[in-house]
Amino acid sequence: MATHHANAVLPDEPEKATLEGKNKILGFWLFLGGETVLFGSLFATFIALRDQVNGGPTSQQLFDMPLVAAATLILLTSSMTSVMATLALHKKNLKMIQVWLTITVLLGIGFLALEIYEFVHYVHEGHKISTSAFGSAFYTLVGFHGGHVAFGILWIILLQLSAVKKGLTVVTAPKFYLASLYWHFIDVVWVFIFTVVYLMGMIGGKVG
């Protein structure tokens, strides 16, 4: 892909070209380290409470594979498209960054729509935050992830809009890079949610 003429002065790996950019990237990795502990604590809580249904619906009765599989497929695809955006960033191609991020955002919205549908459905089945310890743990863990997805969508849209005016610079490049990093992180968290919450919740009855 040819380098856009307006970006001719932009250095390679523009996200790391300034000390501010380097600081942001390091700081963000550290932040993700903290987020790992955050989700780790939520997972531990969920695992401890997932069989405590208190007479309410169990995970085996609730979970529906096609819906969750579709959500997983959508989110993992969006992870790939966010990588494409980073690749476009390294080619200094703002147009392709915008294209890939738009696809990422649309997939993210699709995922979120499925999750909201899923939650509404569960509430109708009598599975609420106040039903049981399982209900509290489920909505907190999965909801925390959903909240992260929603924040990511808003953040990426904001970056996209402001980049229309600002272009791709050594100031905006780290922001795109970090948004992509963040998006990856919440996808990785989802892989664990899919495994621990849904797959483990669908097999067998009581475990351990």
Closest approach, Cβ 49 to other proteins, in A, equals 6
Say how many Å lie between the first and final Cα of the chain, rounded.
Answer: 55
Q: Which is nearer to other proteins, 74 or 139 (CB)?
A: 139
**Which lies closer to other proteins via its Cβ, residue 2 or residue 12?**
12
How far apart, in Å, are the Cα atoms of 43 and each of 56, 65, 142, 190, 207? Answer: 21, 20, 10, 11, 16
Q: What is the DSSP string of 81-105?
A: HHHHHHHHHHTT-HHHHHHHHHHHH
Closest to other proteins by CB, 25 or 67: 25
How far, in whole angstroms, is CA 130 from its chain's centroid? 26
Provide, rounded to whole angstroms, the least separation between the CB of residue 20 and other proteins: 9
Residues in CB range of 37: below 8 A, 6 or more apart: none
* Separation in Å, CA 47 to CA 53, 100, 122, 140, 208: 13, 36, 19, 12, 10
- Distance in angstroms (rounded) separating the CA atoms of residues 27 and 33: 10
CB of 16 to other proteins, least distance (A): 11
Query: Minimum distance between the CB of residue 74 and other proteins, rounded to whole angstroms?
Result: 26
Min separation Cβ 137 and other proteins, Å: 7
Closest separation in Å from C-beta 93 to other proteins: 20
Binding site for other proteins (CB under 8 A): 19, 22-23, 26-27, 30-31, 33-35, 37-38, 41-42, 44-45, 48-49, 52-54, 129-137, 140, 155, 158-159, 162, 166, 169-171, 175
Judged by CB, which is closer to other proteins: 11, or 27? Answer: 27
Q: Which is nearer to other proteins, 49 or 107 (CB)?
A: 49
In the complex with other proteins, which residue's Cβ is closer, 31 or 77? 31
> Distance between CA 201 and CA 59 in Å, rounded?
5
Which of 140, 122, 139, 131 has its CA nearest to residue 52?
Answer: 131
